[in-house]
């Protein structure tokens, strides 16, 4: 099968996009997904995103990690919005469905503001915070993030959680409303240049443990800068928005 694909990136998180409204992509084939994401023998990406038809919303987003496992991805969802606009499925605003539920988003000049799910699953541990922001996240404050062994320690912590494990975010406070973040992602099994659900977890965790009073937080990552805003009602984080660039890189055709 010869298929058109599109490559997008959101602050360095890169994705292979397929228009799957005709339901031809073999999404049960995890070996194919792994091969396409392989940076030496495939196209290369952190994951694959399918845009599909949905009866009740503008479109359905399906996200697969580089190992073929399915989850939700914040930066991937922002790129899915940009891709849906390219396909002329949407204009500047959209409601769509993903594995973790309904999402609203706005796009203007390649900047996508994505509404995340409400966050009420937050566990404060001795030296870390666990939060579910569409997928599982471990958040830990460290010093000297630039030289911190993210891969080595992230891999150990990732597997300390029960299946399916957790993404691991290491954060360093820069000022009252800015936290630098580096993330080890499960499914990719490596550090990535950014993680949207990860920075969302960091922003909420830092607010929860009183490291910031801000509800609009800047989060520099290796691939650029993201922004997370939220409100708090009865200890539930609502109106959570992840904002940042979502950029087209290239397109091509591939035999699968």
- Is 79 a catalytic site residue? no
Sequence length of the chain is 256
- The catalytic residue among 73, 84, 117, 181 is 73
Task: Choose the catalytic residue: 90, 105, 141, 195.
Answer: 195
Burial class (CB in 10 A: 0-12, 13-18, 19+), 172: middle
Please list the active-site residues.
73, 195
């Amino acid at each position: 099968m010869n298929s058109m694909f599109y490559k997008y990136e959101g602050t360095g998180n890169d994705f292979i996009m397929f228009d799957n409204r005709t339901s031809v992509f073999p999404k049960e084939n995890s070996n194919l997904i792994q091969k396409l994401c392989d940076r030496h023998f495939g196209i290369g990406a952190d994951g694959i995103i399918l845009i599909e038809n949905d009866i009740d919303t503008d479109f359905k987003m399906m996200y697969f990690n580089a190992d073929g496992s399915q989850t939700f991805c914040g930066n991937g969802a922002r790129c899915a919005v940009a891709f849906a606009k390219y396909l002329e499925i949407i204009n500047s605003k959209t409601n769509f469905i993903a594995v973790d539920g309904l999402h609203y988003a706005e796009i203007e000049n390649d900047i996508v503001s994505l509404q995340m799910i409400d966050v009420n699953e937050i566990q404060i541990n001795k030296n870390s915070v666990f939060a579910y922001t569409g997928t599982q996240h471990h958040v830990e404050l460290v010093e000297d993030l630039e030289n911190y062994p993210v891969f080595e320690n992230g891999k150990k912590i990732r597997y300390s959680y029960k299946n399916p494990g957790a993404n691991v975010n290491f954060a360093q406070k820069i000022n009252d409303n800015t936290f630098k973040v580096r993330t080890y992602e499960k499914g990719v099994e490596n550090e990535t240049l950014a993680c949207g659900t990860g920075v969302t977890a960091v922003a909420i965790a830092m607010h929860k443990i009183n490291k910031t009073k801000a509800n609009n937080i800047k989060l520099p990552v290796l691939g650029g800068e993201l922004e997370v805003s939220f409100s708090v009602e009865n200890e539930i984080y609502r109106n959570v928005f992840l904002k940042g660039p979502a950029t087209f890189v290239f397109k091509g055709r591939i035999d699968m």
